[in-house]
Structure 1
Amino acid sequence: MLQREDKTVCKRPEEELKETNTPLLLPRCKLSASRHQQYAAEGAMPVLPALESGTADLGEAHWREVMGQTNPSGRYSFVSGVSEGKFYVATGQGRDKIFYNDIWVFKFRTERWEKLPGQPQPSFLSASEWNGVSQFAYSPQARYGAAGGIFPGSPHLYVSMGFSKQRYYDTVVYDVHQRSWHSEFPCYQCHPYSVTYPHARCLHSGVMVNSEELVIFGGCLTGGGVAGPCPSGDSWLFDGRSKLWTKLQDCVMPSMYAAMAMLPISTGERRVVLYGGINKTPQVLETVPTKENEIGLLNPGSGLWTRRKTLSSQDTYPSKRASVAMATGEEGVYMFGGFETEGCVII
């Protein structure tokens, strides 16, 4: 059982690092790091073929590349999510430090990309008139390193904070039914000393815990005209109905480039898994990094974190890594890629 000397961070230290049989599922897909980077550079879409539930093993699947006549520009550190049979991608950073504020949808049925408008064309304007003024319609500022996503079945894609020329405080939403951006938390006069909303940041983790609630954790709060811990260890919940932020319990180790995903709701209780990330930067003098078999587990209803040690039937675990992709499956959380925090080896 892992232990930590500082017992003051978690309100319930006796619950630290409980063993859990929550599975971290690793599909054994044969995709090299260089090929993975090529997809990101070319804007291609690597997809897994459709699997019939209960009849196929994900380990037997293979990757294939889908390229269409229209594709998003290659990018990384974007916000994405899947809802109603469609995969959405918004914001991100491309080559030569180009930042994006666009949004694209990939339709699994047709296997085609489509660029979505920032705002719909008003009925009282002709196409030519709209082309002349559409550039002035509301869209978020271009950025990378934001958090957010779309809850399955929801029409709202959230994008929260991030960085380009500055760290952003705002949270914006794209309505995929109305095809329009709107600001959920504009924060025109925000400052880093408030206790009612989070400090501006980038490279933080985030996940939608229902259709209108976003949880964020950690990230880097330094740079872009602001100062703060990098990495940070605070977590917040944003309610899109009340437009308010709520600070959650401090417990897990500060990190950036960590990943978050919802566990499947099998018992009727919502739980968020936090995994990996970078715990140490030049700003950190001393810390105790999280282990490769350690996760954070959040109850978004109570706002309480616990630290858990995962179990393995063969006592093997994925190497500790950062910037991974995680997704919710029927039996657990799937994880792919990232880079090892020791040596920065792309996986």
Structure 2
Amino acid sequence: MSSKLLLVLLCCVCVSMGAPVTWTELSTTSTPPPARWNAGLAIVNGVGYLFGGEGTPASGLLEDMWMFTVTGSTVVWTDMSGSGPSARYGFVNGVVDGYWIISHGCNNEMCFSDAWAFNTATNTWSLLVNSTTQTAPRGRFTSAGGVYPGGRDLWLSMGQNIASVSRKFSDTWVLRVNTSGAQLTAEWEEVSSGGGLDQYNPFLPHARSLHAGAPLSPDTFAIVGGCAAGGQVGGPCPMEDSWTISLSERVWREYPHCPSGRTRAVLTPVPGFEGNGYLLGGSESWGPGVFSPQLTPKEVNASEVVLMTTNATTFNWLRLKSDGGNFPENLDSPSVAVDATSGVVYYFGGRRLEDGAFQHRMWTLGGDGLDQPDLGCSQPQYTYVHLHGTLMYLAWGLFFPLGVLLARYYRWTWPCWFVFHVIMQCLGVLVTVAGFVVIFLVGSYNEPAFPHAIVGIVLTTLMIQQFLSGIFHPCVDKEDGKTPPKEKSTYRKCWELYHAISGFLTVAIGLGQVTLGVFLIKAPLTVWAVWVGMGSAWLIAFVVHECVYVCCKIAHRGQKIY
């Protein structure tokens, strides 16, 4: 009896133990598809499909269709190209009841807002959503999306369009697919509208593109990282934040940072573990030889698999090292699909970070990693955007307010006030110019087309004119060459009034601008605490000094302030 009980216990232990995550490269006995990235990949009843994407300069945009089957560690490819969606890349896709649904994406000239369905039983494409006659999200690419295995909703979250002035989006939608009728139908439904000022709302994810995202349960969709710079918005690129939204509650929840910020990564649900996802690939820069936005670069480790675990009450990150020495190289924008039947994750193509070469290798990822040791969270990133913020923090949170305080309240009591006023203002100008230059080092993604950037240009212009007006101020004429006159000239009085009002206005705008910036970078609590503390300290200091100043002015009615 005891031996049977021991056997049962051992079986339970074996079942509860997780399997380490392991990569396997598949060989092929047929001609593989051309190398590409930003393509679509799907597994339907054990058969795989590949469509579209962007290939090498020689291949260009692709509109080919491929089917593949896997036996052991061998993949066999079959070209099925024919009539169907036009060439595109960066679209979202997923499987619903034997239909492979793809939607949106762009070519080099325009973005699409249509949706197509591939019937795997008849191997034919059909137009599922005609955006000219049906409501659909605006055309875009590099969005996050997908269908949870066994689900019926295709998610589409955020992304960017192609236009003379491109735009990034903060909205999230689901395509409700109905396969029960005589004809396949679908209808878009907005889950989260977003808005033009969402980049300043700390309770919502910023508009972005190049982010990873996938449904991790029938009700929950997750996004990780991406790029918030450019596209008429602003923010870090790459981003380190991660969010989930519930389809039933329609509320975004932010989770602690752990993996390094990255763009062009992929997120896929872990088969058989609802609420879990694998974060794979991606990079911290925009491509080989492109300026890195990081001051302390640390590329994504190729052997690293990040496990994201969520449920209604908890959230956790696990950074895992894949078992064995064989794993894909660091890749941008690979394609990923889950076989819900076998529990295998397929991983295809992408662009190699080392040299920008496009790939057409196929890998599988198995295991759940639940019992593997955690590598721990990455250190917080410090980018040029953060350096820009630090410099502006010093200029508008310290140097300029201190200079104004000295000029306003200490000019009659401290002989050295003017020297220190000039020093503070010069330091503020130098640090602001440095911060202004730094933000443009991150490239053309930071076009001045959103509120923080526009206000920044206006503020810099005000600062320069204020600084020049101080340098070329009218001197007080001295009657005997030694003592100033009893009455200042009208010109001098007007200049002093103008310089004072302009100075206060510029500093006030600067304080508000830094506050917008803190919202924009989604600063951690410590940064907020420091900024709120500094702002409160300056407010108290100016109120106290102004009260003393007014009292002194009343007590000495005969003295003129200007």
Task: Name the TM-score, length of structure 2 as normaliser.
Answer: 0.51
Counterpart contact for 1:79–1:159, Cα < 8 Å: yes
Q: How does 1:195-234 map to 2 (within 5 A)?
A: 195-234=202-241
| Alignment partner, residue 79 of structure 2 | 65
Which structure would you say has the larger Rg?
A: 2
% identity of equivalent residues: 26
Counterpart contact for 1:150–1:158, Cα < 8 Å: yes
Distance 1:102 1:74 in 2: 13
| Alignment partner, residue 66 of structure 2 | 46
| Alignment partner, residue 155 of structure 2 | 158
CA apart distance, 1:90: 0.6
CA apart distance, 1:39: 5.0
SS of 2:34's partner is helix
Q: How does 1:251-266 map to 2 (within 5 A)?
A: 251-265=258-272
| Alignment partner, residue 97 of structure 1 | 109
Structure 1 window deviating more from structure 2 (161-170 vs 287-296): it is: 287-296
Counterpart contact for 1:219–1:256, Cα < 8 Å: yes
Task: After superposition, give the CA deviation of every residue in 1:99-154 in whole Å (9 maximum; x if it has no partner).
Answer: 011111111111111111348xxxxxxxxxxxxxxx36421100001001111222
CA apart distance, 1:31: 5.1
Alignment-mate amino acid for residue 172 of structure 1: W
Alignment-mate amino acid for residue 274 of structure 1: L
Distance 1:332 1:22, change over 3 A: farther
| Alignment partner, residue 279 of structure 2 | 274
Distance 2:91 2:52 in 1: 14
| Alignment partner, residue 339 of structure 1 | 351
Distance 2:130 2:214 in 1: 23
Counterpart contact for 2:266–2:335, Cα < 8 Å: yes
Distance 1:26 1:84 in 2: 29
Q: Where in structure 1 are there 5+ consecutive unaligned residues?
A: 1-18, 120-134
Distance 1:27 1:274 in 2: 21
Distance 1:167 1:204 in 2: 12
Distance 1:189 1:285 in 2: 29
SS of 2:105's partner is strand
Distance 1:288 1:346 in 2: 22
CA apart distance, 1:319: 1.3
CA apart distance, 1:22: 1.2
Distance 1:63 1:114, change over 3 A: same
Alignment-mate amino acid for residue 175 of structure 2: Y
Structure 1 window deviating more from structure 2 (143-152 vs 329-338): it is: 329-338
Counterpart contact for 2:24–2:326, Cα < 8 Å: no
Alignment-mate amino acid for residue 28 of structure 1: S
Distance 1:31 1:250, change over 3 A: farther
Alignment-mate amino acid for residue 66 of structure 2: P
Q: How does 1:100-249 map to 2 (within 5 A)?
A: 100-118=112-130, 135=132, 137-164=134-161, 165-177=166-178, 178-249=185-256
Distance 1:331 1:187, change over 3 A: closer
Alignment-mate amino acid for residue 97 of structure 2: E
Counterpart contact for 2:265–2:334, Cα < 8 Å: yes
| Alignment partner, residue 27 of structure 2 | 28
CA apart distance, 1:343: 0.9
More strand by share: 1
Q: How does 1:262-341 map to 2 (within 5 A)?
A: 262-265=269-272, 268=273, 270-281=275-286, 282=291, 283-301=293-311, 302-312=314-324, 315-329=325-339, 330-341=342-353
Distance 1:322 1:42, change over 3 A: closer
RMSD: 2.3
Counterpart contact for 2:32–2:77, Cα < 8 Å: no
CA apart distance, 1:35: 5.9
Structure 1 window deviating more from structure 2 (103-112 vs 282-291): it is: 282-291
CA apart distance, 1:207: 0.9
Distance 1:309 1:145, change over 3 A: same
CA apart distance, 1:306: 1.7
Q: Where in structure 2 are there 5+ consecutive unaligned residues?
A: 1-17, 38-50, 54-60, 179-184, 360-562
Distance 2:130 2:203 in 1: 29
